[in-house]
Amino acid sequence: MPLVALTSPIAPAAVALLEGAGLRVALPPMRGPEGFYAVCAEADALIVRLPLPRDLLDRSPKLRLVARAGVGYDFIPVDRATALGIPVTNVPGGNAVSVAEHVIAQMMVASRRLETADRTFRTEGWKKAIAAWDQAVELSDRTLGIVGLGAIGRHLARIAGLGFGMRVLGMRRSAGALPEGVEAADLGRVFSESDFVVLACPLTEETRGLASAEMMGRMKPDAWLINVARGGVLDEAALLRLLHEGRIGGAALDVMNEEPPPRDSPLFDAPNLLLTPHWAGMTPASVERTNLAAAEEVLRVMRGERPVNVVNPEVWEHARDMTGA
């Protein structure tokens, strides 16, 4: 009976789908890399929700598929998978609604000063809180700049443009038409003209450090930077300097360079910084959706079929023992 290894628990519906097809499902027997090595030693497929040890695939001789239960796959050693002939899949768009709505929530908190209003109301009273009404701004007619127009960026552009009447600038590195209502802009214009700059691009060697000190230095003094991409896309130290110097309005980070950050991280002392623990894409609905999609990719491979979303398609013709014969 084929074995599907998990890096961490997945949605019950996804487990039921796999077991209903006659597959065994197993979690690591212990924490840490040794647990991954143990569960993958006999695994035919691996569903990934946590970073993998770089040598894990070399120590998994039966593995026929690595299925990412999510979008980003920068913590999977895709180069090793490719060298070993193992397809790697992901679920593009699986959490796009959740992440886009999270960004909208962050913009609303920032534009209406909701945290400040709540804190002031509780500690200093009604009059003090209501006196800050003139610090609030409307999103309508403000400019949103999106770096990365994949599923998340496109959904965010629709909500912001159609729902809030925002002007939307978009920058993408790949060729292709921009979504309706999105104005094409280079990186410099996105940073200099936007009231909210949203990073929603994958982390690659080309995008690492894309939000540099020089680029963030072009932002308006009241503009906000929102990162739902990966921590490595921006220069975190430069951002902290800008916040402490009051040179931008604020920032909202769902991703950081080090996750989780240490308790003494300078992030926790930065002014006008909203922090969330890399959960923008996590709602019960989105987690179940991405887990089921990953499980379906496993079933396709177990049937000898080509997965739908292969991130290293060059290996498919040479993938090891794809039919299990």
Q: Which residues are annotated as catalytic?
A: 230, 259, 278
Q: Are 109 and 274 in contact (CB under 8 A)?
A: yes
Q: Are 75 and 53 in contact (CB under 8 A)?
A: no
Distance CA 113, CA 278 (A): 22
Distance CA 59, CA 281 (A): 31
Q: Are 253 and 229 in contact (CB under 8 A)?
A: no
Beta bridge partners of 5: 26, 46
Distance CA 315, CA 179 (A): 32
Distance CA 311, CA 294 (A): 13
Tokens of 232: 């490595």
Tokens of 162: 């159609």
* Phi, psi dihedral angles at 76 (to 5 degrees): -105, 130
